[in-house]
Amino acid sequence: MDRRKELEKMNVLRELAPLAASYSLDVDHLKKSEIIDAILAHECKEPETKEVKRRPPRNAAQTKLKALRVKSGLKQKDVALEAGLKLPVYSQYEQGIRNIDGCKLITLLNICNALNCSLQDILEDQETLEALREYNN
C-alpha cells in the first residue's frame, strides 16, 4: 500500500514539476497540496507591470520623409503609388524600419519625384550626401 501511494505521489509530482519549476518551487520537499497552494498564491498576486517597449526616437530621415509628404498634401498611399512602391514598403521607409539610404537609386528618384524634392532632401548618410555634392559640381 505504501508503495502504491509513493508511486501516486511521484506521478503527481511529475505532472506538477514543470508548473512548479516555473514558479521556482522545490517539488521534492513539498506535498501536492502545498505545491498547489503555492501556485495559486503566486497566480493571485498582483501582476507585475511589464516594461513597455517603445519605438526608438524618429531619426531625421523619418522626420524628413513625413514632413515632405505632409507638406505636399499627400497620403502615404499616394506617394507609394506614384513611386511605384507597395504601401507597406513606403510606410517602412517613413517609419525608419527600412533604411532609405540603402535603397536603390531608382526607388530614391521615384520617391523624390512623388514628393517633388531632391535626393539631398531625403538622404541622411553623410558619405552619400558628400558624393552627391561632388557629382553635382
Tens of pLDDT along 60-96? 555 788 999 999 999 999 999 999 999 999 998 888 8
pTM above 0.85, yes or no: no
C-alpha to C-alpha distance for 12 and 88, rounded to whole angstroms: 51
C-alpha to C-alpha distance for 78 and 67, rounded to whole angstroms: 15
All structural domains of the chain, each given as residue ranges with its CATH number in brackets, are 2-43 (no CATH), 60-136 (1.10.260.40)
C-alpha to C-alpha distance for 128 and 8, rounded to whole angstroms: 72
